[in-house]
Amino acid sequence: MCRVLAYLGLPTPLETLLYATDLSLARQAYNPRMMASFVNLAGFGFAAWDDATAHPDEPFVYRVTTVPTHDENLRALAHKLVPACVLAHVRGVVDGQPAVVSQQNTHPFRFARARVALAHNGHLREFARMRRDVQAHVRPELASLVEGNTDSEWLYALLLSQLREPLGRPDVEELAAATIRTLEIVRDLRARHRIATASPANLFVTTGTSLVVTRFSFDHGWYPPDDPLLELDLAYVTLWYTLGGEYAEHGGAWEMRGADVTSSVLVASEPITADASTWLEVPEYSLLAASRDGDTVETELHDLEV
C-alpha cells in the first residue's frame, strides 16, 4: 500500500507539498498516521506541471527507489519547482511478499508522449489470475509500453485505452468517464475469474489541468484466510481533500485560507498536517473531479456505482 498526494491550483512550491508540513508526504513514507503497521519505503515519484517552463503540457517526471527524506537531489529540485499541478507517490510493499522494488514499478506512471499520469493507492488481490484478460483490453501500442510488473501500471494502460486519443489530453469529463470505465472492466473481469477479495483502487489521474481521484474498493471487507494485509484493509483506504486559496503557512498552520472562488485543491491519502481540521474526507465509493482554468479550480464529487 502507498501514500499519494495530488495538487491542482495556484503555483505552489513543491517543497511545501513534499517536505514543509509536519505530516508531509516525505514523512508519510516512514510514519503514516492512517495506515496500520505499514511503511512506504519502496520508491518515490512525482509528475509536476509548471506553466512557466518550456512545453508546459509536459510534466517533470522523477521516479526513484530512494527514500524521499534522504534524497538530496529531490530536495534540491523541490526547492526550485513551483508547479500548478503535482502528482506524487510513496510506494509501500509487503514485507516477505514477492515484489520488485525498481524504478519501473514506482508511480506515477506516464508513458512517453502521454498527457495523462496515474498513481494508485491500493492493490488488486489475485491480479495475476486476470492479468492476461486485462492485457486483452489494452491497446497493443500501449501494452508494449508497460515496463514494470505492477497491477497499477496495467490499470494505467487500461485507462489510457479508454480515451478517444490515448496519448491526447482529455478534458475532465472524458478523464472521469475513462476512469469509471476502467473500474467497470476490472469489475467484470474479476467476476469472470471469480475473484471476490477486497481490492482497493484509489486512483489519482491527471493531465496537469484536470484531476480525477477515486476512493473505491472492490469487495470491501472480504479477505483470503491469513491475509497479511488484513489489518491494513479492514478499514476502507483513506482519502482526504482541502480546497480554497493558496496553500501556505498562516500563523504556524498550513492551510488554504478562504477564497470566494476556489483556486486550489489538494487531495491526499491522508492530511499532510497533524491538524486535520481544515481537511474533508472524500466519501467511500466516490469520485472527485477537478479542473483548472486560470486561477479558478472547479471541483465536483460523484457517487461511484461500479
Partner 1 sequence: MISRSEPAAALAAAPLFADLSPDVVSSLALELRRIELAPGDLLWRQGEASGGLHLVETGRLTVTAGGPGGREVELAQMGPGDVVGELPLLAGGEHAASVRAVELASVLQLDRGRFRALLSSFDPSAEALRRRLLNVVCERLRRQHARLCAMLGDGPALGAGADFVSEPAPIPPHAYLARLALFRDLGEQELDELLAVSVVVDVARGTELCAEGATPAFCAVTLCGALEELVRRGDRGVRVRLAGPGLATCYAGLLDGLPSSVSVNARERARLALVPRPAFDDLVAARTRIGRAFLEALQRDLVGALRVAQRPLARLSFG
Query: In this structure, what C-alpha cell is assigned to residue 69?
Result: 527524506
CB 272 to partner 1: min, Å = 14
How many CB atoms are located within 10 Å of the residue 167 CB?
14
The smaller minimum CB distance to partner 1, of residues 23 and 47, is found at 23
Q: CB-wise, 145 or 239, nearer to partner 1?
A: 239
Nearer to partner 1, 3 or 215 (CB): 215
> Distance of CA 146 to CAs 112, 138, 190, Å?
11, 10, 21
Nearer to partner 1, 58 or 284 (CB): 284
- Least distance in angstroms from the C-beta of 256 to partner 1: 6
Phi, psi of 289 (to 5 degrees): -120, 135
Shortest distance (Å) from residue 293 CB to partner 1: 20
CB 91 within 8 A of CB 40: yes
Angle at 114 between CA 83 and CA 214, to 5 degrees: 70
Q: Which residues bind partner 1 (CB under 8 A)?
A: 219-223, 225-226, 230-231, 234-236, 242-245, 250, 255-259, 274-281, 283-285, 301
**Shortest Cβ 183–partner 1 spacing (Å):** 15
- d(C-alpha 40, C-alpha 146), whole Å: 23
Q: Which is nearer to partner 1, 96 or 225 (CB)?
A: 225
- Least distance from C-beta 258 to partner 1, angstroms? 3
The answer to whether 291 and 212 are in contact (CB under 8 A) is no
CB 227 within 8 A of CB 212: no
One-letter amino acid of 239: L
Q: Which is nearer to partner 1, 147 or 281 (CB)?
A: 281
> What is the C-alpha separation between 11 and 46, in angstroms, rounded?
16
Minimum distance of partner 1 from residue 226's CB (angstroms): 8
Return d(Cα 271, Cα 41) in angstroms, integer: 19
Residue 9 C-beta: closest distance to partner 1, Å: 12
Report CA 106 to chain centroid distance, whole Å.
Answer: 11
**In the complex with partner 1, which residue's Cβ is closer, 22 or 173?**
22
Nearer to partner 1, 72 or 260 (CB): 260
Task: Give the long-range contacts of residues 36-40, CB within 8 A, separation 24 or more.
Answer: 36/231, 36/232, 36/235, 37/231, 37/232, 38/1, 38/92, 38/232, 39/92, 40/1, 40/2, 40/3, 40/90, 40/91, 40/92
Nearest approach, Cβ of residue 282 and partner 1 (Å): 9
